[in-house]
Amino acid sequence: MSGHGLFLLLDLVGTFVFAISGAVAAKQRNLDLFGVISVAFVVACGGGIVRDVCIGAVPPAGLSNWRYLAASVVAALITIAAYPKVRQLRHPVLFFDAIGLGLFAVAGAQKALAYGHNSEVAVLLGVVTAVGGGTLRDVLLARVPVVLQREIYASAALLGATIQVVIEQLHLSQPWTPWAATLVCVGLRLMSLRFHWHLPTFAGDPARKTECDR
Amino acid sequence: MSGHGLFLLLDLVGTFVFAISGAVAAKQRNLDLFGVISVAFVVACGGGIVRDVCIGAVPPAGLSNWRYLAASVVAALITIAAYPKVRQLRHPVLFFDAIGLGLFAVAGAQKALAYGHNSEVAVLLGVVTAVGGGTLRDVLLARVPVVLQREIYASAALLGATIQVVIEQLHLSQPWTPWAATLVCVGLRLMSLRFHWHLPTFAGDPARKTECDR
Amino acid sequence: MSGHGLFLLLDLVGTFVFAISGAVAAKQRNLDLFGVISVAFVVACGGGIVRDVCIGAVPPAGLSNWRYLAASVVAALITIAAYPKVRQLRHPVLFFDAIGLGLFAVAGAQKALAYGHNSEVAVLLGVVTAVGGGTLRDVLLARVPVVLQREIYASAALLGATIQVVIEQLHLSQPWTPWAATLVCVGLRLMSLRFHWHLPTFAGDPARKTECDR
């Protein structure tokens, strides 16, 4: 299999696992069939759609390439049909979700560079590609996005996208560079899960205790 | 009246009834005058604005064509001035809302095709045009979008948009085709209201009962 | 300092104070470091990004110009480091926030005109530039946007943007025109704070008391 074919395969794997995470969340909220499929699609493709709109790549690939929609619908239907089993998949889902995170961060940054935009745009939109779908999922479910609250997640995407962009801008990119950047992101994410690493939340701040939080 | 003039009229009727539904929801939340007008405008034009951004039709017609803003503002002011009467209008509002749904789904799909995009883009953006405004309304009011939760609503829009796109792509479109597609969508929506049809929500799933739903 | 340099400076001041308001809100919700920086950036740049996408100015300046990101990150870090002091800054924050509101409304309207769009687009996107970031902040924090609920805020932005657009469209614009429009917006906002002016919310409407509000 060529490198490009492998990348497309893993991109679809990322889409698929992101869609499963969306379908599980939608099902927990008792949404209807259309709601489950919609949230699965939004999680899988929402970040990429926002990226494409921001770089002028219209219509967004998430809308125009049937593979993404198909992967999302299949993931949603499997989730519905095999819900008790999918629920037991917590660790495999987290594992594939980490792979999706890394792939989307690096691929998103690459696409922005390919459209001729600068490093900052590429890094920011790499992160948006990776975490945008999950953020939209939480907005649709009327809760504060998980990505803002806990764990090394967006920061792992930021690291992966930054590595890719820096190496490309220095003209040092090799065919294996995107894989290495993806691996760093995935590795950081998985290690943070394994060892319970968190970003600081300043919870010890004495001022916070008296905060009126609306 | 020409076909085009009739279509524009019905498009504005759709805008108007969608704006009323937004104004009623905003008023129930006790938003101020600007908030009521804003939510009315977002419900009426939000879906079309997202569609236009995704197909590269900038600036979006909802921002650049004064008729849409005017219809939204008038609907909001009427809602405020005649609120007790508007509240009694539940069935007429649902009726016009169904007409707006069908018109927006078909017109949204047509516009995407007219910009040269493929069938998938046209169908998806037809649905977005029809249900996007209501989804944004619920996001602004910090609740899970109704469209994801119940009733044959987005699925009716999906059917209407699909019929229109399939017939156009087969080069079988006649002047009355959009009206027929709209009618199917409106008819399905009204019948689902009349006969209490729902999409499955899997509520009988025993696993759900023990779900921790955050 | 040239007029352009002064405008850029004040634009960055507006970005900075909007970012502080975002960081304070995120910190009150106990978001992590990435979350605080993200919300600060969204409040400071979200409105401008939406405006740029709607006028076809891609990639949006908020993503491609490092000054906006840098101002947001610095504001977030200062907020975290000096939180007890920042909390005491309520009145200065409101003061700078009003300046940011006026600058963003006028600058947003000007940018839309400069891209060749009509008056309605310019006024609407001036308001979006000014209040969009705060609206996105509240959506991310899963609450009804404050801007829809109380106070003369968006309406002050509307007034400032309208003055600027009307004067430009009449070809009466002078170098000081944007400053005057900004001043009117800022003045109205500050006076409404000082004298507790509000838009009507129709709270006395007897129908509302029996409203079922979901």
Q: What is the mean pLDDT of residues B69-83?
A: 92
Q: Tell me what pLDDT residue A206 has.
A: 42
Selected residue of B202, B209, B210 to mutate for chain A interface (largest A Cβ count, 10 A): B202
pLDDT at position A210 is 36
CA distances from C167 to A154, B65, B141, C127, C176 (A): 45, 21, 36, 17, 11
DSSP E strand boundaries for C43-186 = none
Q: Is C53 at the interface with chain A, CB within 8 A? A: yes
The answer to whether the Cβ–Cβ distance between B31 and C148 falls below 8 Å is yes
pLDDT at C162: 96
C207–chain B Cβ distance below 8 A for any pair: yes
Read off the pLDDT of each residue in A2-24 and give the average, rounded to a whole number: 79
- For an interface test with C, which of B21, B30, B41, B143 has the most C Cβ atoms less than 10 Å from its Cβ? B30
More confident residue, C203 or C206: C203
pLDDT attached to residue A105? 94
Chain C residues with CB inside 8 Å of B29's CB? Answer: 144, 213
pLDDT > 50? residue B131: yes
C206 pLDDT more than 80:
no
Mean pLDDT value of segment B173-188: 89
Contact C54, B53 (CB under 8 A): yes
Confidence at residue C124, expressed as pLDDT on a 0 to 100 scale: 95
Return the pLDDT at A53. Answer: 95
Residue C3 — pLDDT band, cuts 50, 70, 90? low
Q: What's the whole-number mean pLDDT along residues C126-138?
A: 92
Look at A161 and A174; give whichever has higher pLDDT: A161
For residue B121, pLDDT over 50 is answered with: yes
Q: Is the pLDDT of residue C7 over 70?
A: no
Most confident region among B42-56, C1-15, C76-90 by mean pLDDT: B42-56
Over range B36-64, report the average pLDDT: 93
**Which tens digit of pLDDT belongs to each residue from A86-103?**
777 767 777 878 888 999
Average pLDDT over residues B91-97: 77
Which of B56, B147, B208 shows the shortest C-beta gap to A58? B56
Q: Is C135 on the interface with B (CB under 8 A)?
A: yes
User: What pLDDT, on the 0 to 100 scale, is given for residue A4?
Assistant: 63
Distance in angstroms (rounded) separating the CA atoms of residues A190 and A156: 10
pLDDT of residue A32: 84
Percent of chain B with pLDDT strictly greater than 90 = 48
Shortest distance between the Cα of B170 and any Cα of chain C, in A, equals: 33
CB contact under 8 A, B202 and A53: no
Contact A60 B53 (CB under 8 A): no
pLDDT for A7 equals: 66
Query: Nearest residue of A to residue C52 by CA position?
Result: A54
- Burial label for B131, CB within 10 Å (0-12, 13-18, 19+), is buried
Cβ–Cβ below 8 Å for A149 and C33 = no
Average pLDDT, chain B: 85
Cα C206 to Cα A82, B83, C203: the distances in Å are 50, 10, 8
Task: Calculate the alpha carbon distances from C93 to B188, C20, C77, C108, C194 in Å.
Answer: 53, 8, 16, 21, 14
Best A54, A138, A158, A165 member to test C by mutation, with max C CBs in 10 Å, is A54
Residue-wise pLDDT for A133-152, tens only, equals 989 988 998 888 888 876 78
CA distances to B29, B153, B196, C152 from C90, in Å: 27, 46, 52, 18
Q: What is the mean pLDDT of residues B160-177?
A: 90
**Stretch A200-204: mean pLDDT, rounded?**
59
Q: What integer is the mean pLDDT of C188-193?
A: 90
| Mean local confidence (pLDDT), A181-201 | 86
Q: Does the structure show a pLDDT above 90 at B41?
A: yes
Alpha carbons within 13 A on the beta-carbon side of C149: 10
Q: Decide if A59 touches B, using CB distance below 8 A.
A: yes
Closest Cα in chain B to A80? B202
> Which pLDDT band, with edges at 50, 70 and 90, does A48 fall under?
very high
Average pLDDT over residues C55-78: 93
Do C152 and C131 contact (CB within 8 A), yes or no?
A: no
Percent with pLDDT over 70 in chain C = 89
Q: Which residues of A touch B214 (CB under 8 A)?
A: 28, 143
Judge: B142–C144 Cβ closer than 8 Å, yes or no: yes
Locate the chain C residue with the closest alpha carbon to B81. Answer: C202
Mean pLDDT score, C136-140: 90
Provide, as residue numbers in chain B, all residues whose Cβ is less than 8 Å from the Cβ of C158. 34
Tell me the pLDDT tens digit for each residue of A57-77: 989 999 999 999 999 999 999
Q: Which residues of C touch A144 (CB under 8 A)?
A: 29, 31, 140-142
User: Confidence class of residue A207 from pLDDT cuts 50, 70 and 90?
Assistant: very low
Question: Is the pLDDT at A205 greater than 70, yes or no?
Answer: no
Task: Kindly state whether B146 is in contact with chain C, defined as any CB-CB distance less than 8 angstroms.
Answer: no
DSSP-derived letter for residue C147 is G
Q: pLDDT: is B94 or C179 the higher one?
A: C179
**Among all residues of chain B, which has the CA nearest to that of A60?**
B54
Quick one: average pLDDT of A104-113? 92
Q: Does A199 contact C26 at a Cβ distance shorter than 8 Å? A: no
Chain C residues inside the 8 Å CB shell of B58: 53-56
Helical segments of chain A, H only: 3-28, 33-55, 61-64, 66-81, 83-87, 90-114, 119-140, 154-169, 177-194, 206-209
Q: What is the mean pLDDT of residues B153-165?
A: 93
What are the strands, taking DSSP E only, across B118-197?
Answer: none
Q: What is the pLDDT of residue C41?
A: 94
Q: Assess whether pLDDT exceeds 80 at residue A38.
A: yes
B33 contacts in chain C (CB < 8 Å): 199-201
Q: Does C159 touch chain B (CB under 8 A)?
A: no
Q: Does C200 touch chain B (CB under 8 A)?
A: yes
Distance of CA B138 to the CA centre of its chain: 13
Q: What is the pLDDT of residue A50?
A: 94
Q: Which of A29, A49, A80 sits opposite B144 (nearest CB)?
A: A29
Q: Does position A129 have pLDDT exceeding 90, yes or no? A: yes
Task: Indicate whether B90 pLDDT > 80.
Answer: no
Residue B85 sits at the chain C interface (C-beta within 8 Å): no
- Greater confidence (C37 vs A202) lies with C37
CB pair distance less than 8 Å for C140 and A142: no
Average of pLDDT values for C39-49?
A: 93
Domain residue limits, chain C: 3-199
Q: What is the C-alpha to C-alpha distance for residues C77 and C89, in angstroms, rounded to an integer?
A: 16
Say if A177 is an interface residue toward chain C (CB within 8 Å). Answer: no
pLDDT band at B5 (very low <50, low <70, confident <90, very high): low
Residues 2-31 of C with CB under 8 A from B: none
Return the partners of chain C (3 or more C-beta pairs < 8 Å). Answer: A, B
Provide the shortest C-alpha distance from residue B125 to chain A (in Å): 8
How far apart are alpha carbons C2 and C8 in whole angstroms? 10
Q: Which chains touch A (3 or more CB pairs under 8 A)?
A: B, C
- Flag whether pLDDT at C214 surpasses 70: no
Shortest distance between the Cα of C209 and any Cα of chain B, in A, equals 9
Residue C1 pLDDT exceeds 50: no
- Would you call B62 an interface residue with chain C, using a CB distance cutoff of 8 Å? no
Give me the residue from A121, A145, A148 closest to C63, CB to CB: A121
